Amino acid sequence: MTGLRGAEDLARFIRENYSGRVVEVGAGHLGDVARQLSGLEVVATDIVARQVGELSIEADDIFDPTPELYRGACLIYSIRPPVEMQPAMGRLALSIGADLIIRPLGDEIVSLPGLKRRLVNLGEARFYLYQARIRPL
Protein backbone atom coordinates (compact mmCIF):
# COMPACT_ATOMS: atom_id res chain seq x y z
CA MET A 1 0.00 0.00 0.00
CA THR A 2 1.30 3.45 -0.88
CA GLY A 3 0.62 6.89 0.54
CA LEU A 4 -0.41 8.40 -2.81
CA ARG A 5 -3.94 7.58 -3.87
CA GLY A 6 -3.94 6.10 -7.36
CA ALA A 7 -0.18 5.47 -7.43
CA GLU A 8 -0.70 1.83 -8.42
CA ASP A 9 -2.97 2.80 -11.32
CA LEU A 10 -0.63 5.52 -12.56
CA ALA A 11 2.33 3.11 -12.40
CA ARG A 12 0.31 0.50 -14.30
CA PHE A 13 -0.49 3.03 -17.04
CA ILE A 14 3.19 3.90 -17.37
CA ARG A 15 4.33 0.26 -17.43
CA GLU A 16 1.72 -0.65 -20.06
CA ASN A 17 2.43 2.31 -22.36
CA TYR A 18 6.17 3.01 -22.08
CA SER A 19 9.42 1.12 -22.22
CA GLY A 20 13.00 2.06 -21.52
CA ARG A 21 13.85 5.23 -19.62
CA VAL A 22 11.33 7.32 -17.68
CA VAL A 23 12.13 10.32 -15.47
CA GLU A 24 10.22 11.57 -12.44
CA VAL A 25 10.66 15.30 -11.83
CA GLY A 26 10.23 16.61 -8.27
CA ALA A 27 10.27 13.16 -6.69
CA GLY A 28 10.11 14.53 -3.15
CA HIS A 29 10.21 12.07 -0.25
CA LEU A 30 7.76 9.35 -1.34
CA GLY A 31 8.66 7.72 -4.66
CA ASP A 32 5.36 5.80 -4.62
CA VAL A 33 5.10 5.57 -8.40
CA ALA A 34 8.82 5.16 -9.18
CA ARG A 35 9.15 2.13 -6.91
CA GLN A 36 6.38 0.37 -8.86
CA LEU A 37 7.95 0.77 -12.30
CA SER A 38 9.78 -2.54 -12.44
CA GLY A 39 11.08 -3.34 -15.90
CA LEU A 40 11.74 0.33 -16.70
CA GLU A 41 14.86 2.40 -16.24
CA VAL A 42 13.65 4.97 -13.72
CA VAL A 43 15.50 8.19 -13.00
CA ALA A 44 14.07 10.23 -10.12
CA THR A 45 15.06 13.88 -9.75
CA ASP A 46 14.49 16.65 -7.25
CA ILE A 47 16.24 19.89 -6.37
CA VAL A 48 18.16 18.02 -3.61
CA ALA A 49 19.69 14.55 -3.93
CA ARG A 50 18.54 12.01 -1.38
CA GLN A 51 17.94 8.35 -0.78
CA VAL A 52 14.33 7.24 -0.19
CA GLY A 53 14.49 3.59 0.76
CA GLU A 54 15.99 1.86 -2.27
CA LEU A 55 15.23 4.80 -4.57
CA SER A 56 18.11 7.16 -5.34
CA ILE A 57 16.98 10.67 -6.21
CA GLU A 58 19.35 12.72 -8.35
CA ALA A 59 19.81 16.43 -7.78
CA ASP A 60 18.54 18.47 -10.73
CA ASP A 61 16.91 21.82 -11.41
CA ILE A 62 14.13 21.58 -14.01
CA PHE A 63 14.78 25.24 -14.91
CA ASP A 64 18.37 24.33 -15.88
CA PRO A 65 18.17 20.56 -16.45
CA THR A 66 21.15 18.24 -16.69
CA PRO A 67 20.80 16.73 -20.20
CA GLU A 68 22.31 13.34 -19.29
CA LEU A 69 19.51 12.63 -16.82
CA TYR A 70 16.84 12.95 -19.51
CA ARG A 71 18.62 11.71 -22.63
CA GLY A 72 16.73 8.80 -24.19
CA ALA A 73 13.68 9.16 -21.94
CA CYS A 74 10.33 8.31 -23.53
CA LEU A 75 8.39 9.84 -20.62
CA ILE A 76 8.77 12.58 -18.03
CA TYR A 77 6.25 12.56 -15.21
CA SER A 78 5.60 14.60 -12.10
CA ILE A 79 3.29 14.28 -9.12
CA ARG A 80 1.73 17.55 -7.91
CA PRO A 81 4.24 19.94 -9.49
CA PRO A 82 3.70 23.67 -8.92
CA VAL A 83 2.40 25.52 -11.98
CA GLU A 84 5.72 27.38 -12.19
CA MET A 85 7.53 24.12 -13.01
CA GLN A 86 5.11 22.84 -15.64
CA PRO A 87 6.24 25.03 -18.59
CA ALA A 88 9.87 24.00 -17.99
CA MET A 89 8.83 20.33 -17.99
CA GLY A 90 6.89 20.87 -21.22
CA ARG A 91 9.88 22.50 -22.95
CA LEU A 92 12.13 19.67 -21.81
CA ALA A 93 9.68 16.98 -22.98
CA LEU A 94 9.44 18.62 -26.41
CA SER A 95 13.21 19.00 -26.71
CA ILE A 96 13.86 15.29 -26.11
CA GLY A 97 10.74 13.93 -27.84
CA ALA A 98 9.19 12.51 -24.66
CA ASP A 99 5.60 12.42 -23.46
CA LEU A 100 4.77 14.23 -20.22
CA ILE A 101 2.42 13.16 -17.44
CA ILE A 102 1.37 15.65 -14.80
CA ARG A 103 -0.72 14.60 -11.84
CA PRO A 104 -1.78 17.95 -10.37
CA LEU A 105 -2.78 18.61 -6.80
CA GLY A 106 -6.08 20.10 -7.93
CA ASP A 107 -6.72 22.43 -10.81
CA GLU A 108 -3.06 23.52 -10.96
CA ILE A 109 -2.60 22.73 -14.63
CA VAL A 110 -1.43 24.88 -17.53
CA SER A 111 -1.50 24.74 -21.32
CA LEU A 112 1.91 23.89 -22.70
CA PRO A 113 2.81 25.23 -26.16
CA GLY A 114 3.44 22.47 -28.71
CA LEU A 115 1.81 19.78 -26.57
CA LYS A 116 -1.76 18.54 -26.65
CA ARG A 117 -3.29 17.58 -23.31
CA ARG A 118 -5.84 14.96 -22.41
CA LEU A 119 -7.24 13.92 -19.06
CA VAL A 120 -6.78 10.26 -18.21
CA ASN A 121 -8.98 8.60 -15.58
CA LEU A 122 -7.74 5.14 -14.71
CA GLY A 123 -8.96 3.48 -11.53
CA GLU A 124 -8.07 5.90 -8.74
CA ALA A 125 -5.53 7.79 -10.86
CA ARG A 126 -6.41 11.12 -12.49
CA PHE A 127 -3.67 12.76 -14.53
CA TYR A 128 -2.95 14.73 -17.67
CA LEU A 129 -1.04 13.21 -20.56
CA TYR A 130 0.76 15.69 -22.80
CA GLN A 131 2.01 14.62 -26.20
CA ALA A 132 3.63 16.51 -29.05
CA ARG A 133 1.07 17.95 -31.46
CA ILE A 134 3.22 16.73 -34.33
CA ARG A 135 5.09 13.50 -33.73
CA PRO A 136 8.61 13.27 -35.22
CA LEU A 137 9.04 10.64 -37.96
pLDDT of residue 5: 83
Percentage with pLDDT > 90 across the chain: 77
pLDDT at 135: 53
Residue 69 host element (H or E) = helix 67-70
Q: What pTM, to 2 d.p., does this model score? A: 0.91
Please give the DSSP secondary-structure letter assigned to residue 83: T
What's the residue count for the chain? Answer: 137
Q: How far apart, in whole angstroms, are the C-alpha atoms of residue 33 and residue 2? A: 9
Asked whether the predicted pLDDT for residue 41 surpasses 70, the reply is yes
Q: What angle do CA 43, 47, 48 make, to 5 degrees?
A: 90
Task: Give the pLDDT score at 137.
Answer: 46
Provide the CATH topology of domain 1-64+83-105: Rossmann fold (3.40.50)
Rg (CA), the chain: 14
With cut-offs at 50, 70 and 90, classify the pLDDT of residue 1: very low
How far, CA to CA in Å, does 60 sit from each of 24, 44, 120, 127? 11, 9, 28, 23
Dist. CA 105–CA 32, nearest whole Å: 15
pLDDT band at 40 (very low <50, low <70, confident <90, very high): very high
> What are the tens digits of pLDDT across the range 68-121?
999 999 999 999 999 999 999 999 999 999 999 999 987 777 889 899 999 999
